[in-house]
Chains A and B, each alone.
Chain A
Amino acid sequence: AQSVTQLGSHVSVSEGALVLLRCNYSSSVPPYLFWYVQYPNQGLQLLLKYTTGATLVKGINGFEAEFKKSETSFHLTKPSAHMSDAAEYFCAVSDDNTDKLIFGTGTRLQVFP
């Protein structure tokens, strides 16, 4: 069975600092990996996805994530945080055998001036 673990339910950074949100997955088959962002009172918006090919994936708003098979990780990073990045971030996994997403518990990012 697939599962996703997001370490740290809350992450706080200063504006301009590096953002690192951790995600580890468990999957018995090659996974598809996603990061979604949820701004207050809004739905889930796709930030980026990994399917096949290049393991470093670039998404919207300056975010990127790297698929590391040996570490079963797909951590999300951004070199310099903006106040507007404050939101909840969800890592998710699926695979070619199912059309459902399995989500992690989410990480709330706070950005301080």
Chain B
Amino acid sequence: EPEVTQTPSHQVTQMGQEVILRCVPISNHLYFYWYRQILGQKVEFLVSFYNNEISEKSEIFDDQFSVERPDGSNFTLKIRSTKLEDSAMYFCASNPGRSSGANVLTFGAGSRLTVL
């Protein structure tokens, strides 16, 4: 069964460092997302991406965050200067499109980011 692949599974970084989290969505999917889950809290929407541009972003997704799809397969989340509060599990998800009228997202296993 096709799956969304995320790397790394766990990254530890120092505060202020740049981090790039990588995702390979399912190949024929058109919509891509990043969510995060701070330990013990709910899964929160960060950003959605379609047709090579951001379609929606949350208030969490400030200027420190960016996304891109550099080569048509990878979908990356960059945090420019990490803060302690960026420590969380980051989930990538993809969606084939809205022909069914509802968004069924397929999630990756997550990348755990620990900022020291």
Q: Which chain B residues in 88-116 approach chain A with CB under 8 Å?
A: 91, 93, 95, 98, 100-110
Q: Which residues of A have CB within 8 Å of B93?
A: 44
Q: Which chain A residues in 1-59 approach chain B with CB under 8 Å?
A: 32, 34, 36, 41-46, 49, 51-52
Selected contact of A99 from candidates B43, B98, B109, CB within 8 Å: B98
Q: Which residues of B have CB within 8 Å of A99?
A: 31, 48, 50, 55-56, 95, 98, 103
State A44–B91 Cα separation when bound (angstroms): 9
State A98–B55 Cα separation when bound (angstroms): 10
Q: Is the CB of B100 within 8 A of A106?
A: no
Q: Is the CB of B45 within 8 A of A100?
A: yes
Q: Which chain A residues in 55-113 approach chain B with CB under 8 Å?
A: 90, 92, 94, 96, 98-106
Interface residue B41 (Cβ < 8 Å from any Cβ of A): yes
Q: Which residues of B have CB within 8 Å of A36?
A: 107
21 inter-chain pairs at a CB distance below 8 angstroms, sorted by A residue, are A43-B4, A43-B91, A43-B108, A43-B109, A44-B93, A46-B104, A46-B106, A49-B104, A51-B100, A52-B101, A96-B101, A98-B56, A99-B50, A99-B55, A100-B33, A100-B45, A100-B103, A103-B42, A104-B42, A105-B41, A106-B43
Interface residue B18 (Cβ < 8 Å from any Cβ of A): no
For chain B, the count of residues having a C-beta within 8 Å of the partner chain is: 29
Give the top 10 A-B pairs by smallest Cβ distance, nearest first: A44-B107, A51-B102, A43-B109, A103-B43, A43-B107, A32-B102, A105-B42, A100-B45, A43-B108, A99-B103
Task: Return the chain A residue nearest B50 by Cβ.
Answer: A99
Task: Return the chain A residue nearest B43 by Cβ.
Answer: A103
Q: Which residues of A have CB within 8 Å of B48?
A: 99-100
